[in-house]
Structure 1
Amino acid sequence: MNFYELRENYSSIIYKNFKCAESGNEIKINYLYKLGEFDFNHELIIPKKYFFHLENMIDKDVFLFNLGLIEIINYYKLACPKKIVLEAGAIKEEQKEFFKKLFYKGLGEFRYINNIDISMEEFLEFVNTDENYYRKSKLKGFEGNIVPVGGGKDSIVTLELLKHEKEKNNCLIVNPRGATIDTVNVAGYNMENTIEIFRKIDPKLLELNKQGYLNGHVPFSAMLAFLGIFCALITNKQYVILSNESSADESTDEVTGANHQYSKSMEFEKDFSNYVEKYINSDIKYFSLLRGMREIDIARLFSEHKQYHKIFRSCNVGSKNGGNDWCGSCPKCLFVYIMLAPYLEKEELINIFGKDLLEDTELLTYLKQLTGIEKVKPFECVGTRDEVNEAIDMIIKKYEEIPTLIRMIK
C-alpha cells in the first residue's frame, strides 16, 4: 500500500475524546482516535509524587486536549488522511495553522522516506465539529524548573549547568530506562523527586505497520513539549528547560529541507512558545538552555564530567526493546564518538563505546553522510556537517597517526 492508495481509502481520522482519571497513586490519561474501522486507545500513566500540586488539575483540560492533538500524529501517519476531524474539542484558525505546519514539517523525514511529494496546504486540514473551545488557563504563581532527561550528553550538560538551582529542579523521564535513571541518580536526584511518564502506543499500530500501512519518524520532541507543559501544571513549575542545541536547525536533506530534528529546532521552539502563551497558559515557559551552543561545544563541556561517561547513552539502536547499550555500528554512535574524540583519550572512548569506531571501515558511508561528502545526513539527531569536519580536523591534529576511517575521506 502506498500513500495515495491509503489516502483514498481513509479520508479522515477522528479525535474522538480524551479522559483523565485519578486514582490513589497515579494519573491515567486516555485518548481515543478512530481511523476508518480502527479504534486506537493511546494511554499515558503518571505516577503521583509528593511534590505534585493536584489542585492545579482544575485547569487540566486545555493542556490535555492540546496534547491529544499532537499524539494523534502517531496514528495519522498510518494512512495520512486529508482531514483530522475534531470531536474532542474545537480550535481556531490560527491554531489549525500551527498544527498544520507542525505535522507537515515534523513529518518531513517520514514524507522523504515514503516518497510523498505534496504541499503543506494539500497535506491535511483540521475540521471542527462543534464550537467547544477550551478556555485558556489563567493560573499563575508557578516557580522552578522541569528538566526532561533523555540519557544522552545534552540533558546531562543542562543538569550540570543548573546544579546551583537543584532545589528548584525536577527531572522528567518518559518511559524510564537504564541511562535515564542512572543520569538522574548520578546528577544527585532520585526517582522519588522525578516525574515519570509511561507512554503506551496502541498495539494495533505496530500490527498495521506489519500489514503495509505507512510507518516512519514522528516529531517526538513536539510531544515532549506538550507533555512538559502539562507536567509543569501539575507540579506548579514555571520553566520547562530543554537541551536542544543550535545544530538542530540544519536540514538533514538540503534539497527537500527535511529535518529529522525539526521539533528540536529554534523555529519550532518559537512557534510552540507563542502557541502556549496565546492558547494554553501565559505563565509557563518552554525553552532550551543549550540553544546558543553547537554539538561540539556541548561535547567539550560533557567531556569534563567523567562521572557520567560510563552511564550515558545516545544510541537508538542499542536502546530498542529496553536495551541500554552502544551498538557501535550506527551513525549516531559514530557521531558521538567523533564529537568526543578531540577531548577524550582513545582509551576513554574505547571504554565508553567498546571499540575504536574510527578504525571500523564499515562505518565509511556514515562518515561521508556526516561530513557532507554525501548530500543527505543520517536521519538521526546529529550535528552540522561543518562541526563534524571541525572535529575531524581537531582529531587529525591531536592523533600521532590519522585514524583509518578519516584517512579514507581525506
Structure 2
Amino acid sequence: MKAKILREKYPKFVYNSFDFKLKKEGLEICFDFKIEPDIQFSPKVLIGGINEKEVKRVGERVLKNLIFNLGMIEALSYWKATCSPKIEILAGDLNKEQIRWWRNLIFKGMGQFFFENKINFLERNFLKIESFGEKFERFEGKLNENKILVPVGGGKDSIVTIEYLKKMKKDLILFCLNPNENQKKIIKISEIKNKVFVKREIDKKLLELNQMGFLNGHTPFTAY
C-alpha cells in the first residue's frame, strides 16, 4: 500500500501502556500499542535471570523508566506499518528535549525504510510526537566500571571483543537477543558464566499486516 494512503487512513499511533511481572524465567514485559482506529498490538519481551532482589536494587520507578524507554524503541517496529503522522505517548512522560531525541533517532535511523517505501520524511508536519504520561525516575546510582555488558551477535566482532576484555581482566556479562546457535556456541566457548538472554516476541498481527502489504523495512533496532 502507498504510504500516503496509510497515513491518511491511520492518523495516529498510540503507545498506551506497559506491564511487567516477575516469572520463574525472569522479567516478562508486555507493551500495549494501537494504530487508531482499530489495530492493536501486544508484543512481549522476556529478560532472563532477573529476580526480585535485582528489581529492589534499582527500584520500581527506575525499572519503569527503563521499560518505558524500551517500549519506545519497540514501538517503532509497529508504527512503521502505517507511518502515522502522529505518535501519542500515554505510557510515560517525555520532555521537549527527549522528544527531539526520539525524532532525531527516527529520521536518522530509518532512512533506509523511508527510501525503500518512497516516503518524504522531510515534508512539513511529517511527524508529531506528544507525551501525556507519568514521569519516572532515572537511575542515579554508580555503575561498576569493571563490569561490562557485551552484546553477542554471533560474528567475529563478538569473539574479538570478548577475548580482548578477558585479557583486561574485566568482569563480563554476555547479552543475547533471541539467541541462535552461533551465539550459544560463542558463549559456551568463552567459558563466561554470567549471561543475559532476552526473548523478544513480535505480535503476530504485525506479520499479518506485512503480508497484507502494509509498510515494512529497517528500524534502528540496535538502539535496543
TM-score by length of 1: 0.51
1:219 offset after TM fit, Å?
1.2
> 1:177: which partner in 2?
180
> 1:139: which partner in 2?
141
Distance 2:96 2:39 in 1: 28
CA contact (8 A) 1:96 1:125 kept: no
1:120 offset after TM fit, Å?
7.1
Deviations 1:262-308 (A, max 9, x none): xxxxxxxxxxxxxxxxxxxxxxxxxxxxxxxxxxxxxxxxxxxxxxx
Distance 1:56 1:4 in 2: 47
Distance 2:3 2:42 in 1: 24
Q: Name the SS of the counterpart of 1:53 in structure 2.
A: helix
Q: Percent identity?
A: 33
Unaligned runs of 5+ in 2: none
Distance 1:46 1:125 in 2: 31
Q: Which has the higher strand share?
A: 2
Distance verdict in 2 for CA 1:10–1:70, change over 3 Å: same
CA contact (8 A) 1:147 1:171 kept: yes
Tell me the amino acid that sits aligned with residue 106 of structure 1.
G
Distance 1:74 1:82 in 2: 15
1:49 offset after TM fit, Å?
6.0
Distance 1:55 1:128 in 2: 28
Deviations 1:190-225 (A, max 9, x none): 4xx2100000110100100111100111111112xx
CA contact (8 A) 1:89 1:128 kept: yes
Unaligned runs of 5+ in 1: 224-410
Distance verdict in 2 for CA 1:138–1:121, change over 3 Å: farther
1:153 offset after TM fit, Å?
1.2
Distance 2:99 2:71 in 1: 14
Distance verdict in 2 for CA 1:120–1:88, change over 3 Å: farther
Distance 1:6 1:23 in 2: 38
> 2:119: which partner in 1?
116
Distance 1:121 1:105 in 2: 16
| Structure 1 residue 67 corresponds to structure 2 residue 63 | no
| Structure 1 residue 11 corresponds to structure 2 residue 11 | yes
| Structure 1 residue 149 corresponds to structure 2 residue 148 | no
1:9 offset after TM fit, Å?
0.6
> 2:106: which partner in 1?
103
Q: Name the SS of the counterpart of 2:125 in structure 1.
A: helix
CA contact (8 A) 2:55 2:63 kept: no
Q: Which has the larger radius of gyration?
A: 1
> 2:80: which partner in 1?
77
Distance verdict in 2 for CA 1:94–1:186, change over 3 Å: same
Tell me the amino acid that sits aligned with residue 209 of structure 2.
L
Q: Name the SS of the counterpart of 1:151 in structure 2.
A: coil
CA contact (8 A) 1:104 1:123 kept: no
Distance 2:123 2:178 in 1: 32
CA contact (8 A) 1:10 1:79 kept: yes
Question: Structure with the greater relative contact order (CA < 8 A, sep ≥ 6): 1 or 2?
Answer: 2
Distance 1:12 1:90 in 2: 18
1:134 offset after TM fit, Å?
1.8
Moved over 4 A (4+): none
- The count of aligned residue pairs is 219
TM-score by length of 2: 0.91
Q: Name the SS of the counterpart of 1:104 in structure 2.
A: helix
Q: Which has the higher helix share?
A: 1
1:135 offset after TM fit, Å?
2.2
